[in-house]
Amino acid sequence: MKRSHKIYLYAGAVCLLLAVFSLYTRSDFLVTLANQVWACF
C-alpha cells in the first residue's frame, strides 16, 4: 500500500470518528437512540 493511500485511509477514519462524535453531542439523538434500544426489550 502506498503512503498516500494510507494517509487518505487515516484521514477518512478520523472524519468518520468526528462525525460519530458530533452525533453524540446532540441530546435529541441520544434520547432517540435510547428509545430504540429500549424498544428491543
User: Distance (Å, rounded) from C-alpha 3 to C-alpha 20?
Assistant: 26
Q: How many domains does the chain have?
A: 1
pTM above 0.85, yes or no: no
5-41 pLDDT, tens digit per residue, is 999 999 999 999 999 889 888 888 889 989 999 999 8
Task: Please give the span between the terminal C-alpha atoms of the chain, in angstroms, as a whole number.
Answer: 45
- Assess contact for 29 and 23: CB atoms under 8 A: yes
- Per the structure, the complete domain to which residue 12 belongs is given by 3-39
CA nearest 14: which of 26, 6, 3?
Answer: 6
CB-count burial class (<10 Å; 0-12, 13-18, 19+) for 41: exposed
